[in-house]
């Protein structure tokens, strides 16, 4: 069992997750991990646990924007590179782009098509929350189209009732906390 101090990590994550009803739109319950990331001991425990999952990868990809935080911390811990998987329109061309459905609309993810060699690289994708799986699935398709070997994904919190894990199968996903 992974712990943060004397408490199980999943309990620490739950205690430091702020639930916000009807955000970003009515009917959506948003899990805000800002308090978790602001707690030094908790962030260190999350980073250590995610680094264990990503061990062996030569690149960690973080999904815009909170996934950047955990991916950068994990990459620093492992001594690997980090790739920011950006929301559409944030990168200069040329880019690889992937459009996908969210639980409350649609969006586009992008990565640079030049300047970073992804062919054959072993990549683990990181994000803060797994909800319906659309974002992780799009990131995986995007990286694979660029030639990367996506070996798995890891998230801090999984909202199990939304079925995201099933939506991205067979991609291996590790979550530190399920609610």
Q: How far is CA 140 from CA 2, 38, 109, 165, in A?
A: 27, 28, 10, 13
Contact indicator for 61, 143 with CB cutoff of 8 Å: yes
| Other CB atoms within 10 Å distance of the CB of residue 92 | 7
The residues annotated with a catalytic role in the active site are: 66, 103
Residues 6+ apart with CB under 8 A from 95: 110, 111, 112, 113
Edge-first strand order for the sheet with 81-87 is: 95-102, 105-112, 81-87, 59-63, 122-130, 149-158, 173-178
| Other CB atoms within 10 Å distance of the CB of residue 55 | 12
């Amino acid at each position: 069992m992974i712990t943060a101090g004397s408490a199980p990590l999943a309990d620490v994550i739950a205690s430091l997750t702020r639930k916000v009803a009807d955000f970003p739109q009515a009917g959506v319950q948003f899990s805000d991990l800002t308090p978790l990331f602001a707690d030094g001991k908790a962030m260190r425990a999350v980073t250590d646990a995610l680094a264990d999952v990503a061990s062996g990868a030569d690149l960690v990809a973080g999904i815009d924007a909170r996934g950047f935080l955990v991916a950068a911390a994990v990459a620093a811990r492992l001594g690997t590179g980090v790739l920011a998987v950006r929301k559409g329109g944030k990168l200069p061309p040329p880019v690889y782009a992937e459009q996908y459905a969210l639980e409350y609309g649609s969006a586009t993810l992008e990565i640079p098509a030049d300047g970073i060699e992804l062919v054959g690289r072993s990549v683990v994708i990181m994000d803060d929350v797994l909800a319906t799986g659309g974002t992780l699935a799009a990131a995986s398709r995007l990286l694979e189209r660029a030639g990367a070997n996506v070996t798995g994904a890891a998230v801090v919190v999984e909202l199990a009732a939304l079925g995201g894990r099933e939506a991205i199968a067979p991609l291996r996903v590790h979550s530190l906390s399920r609610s």
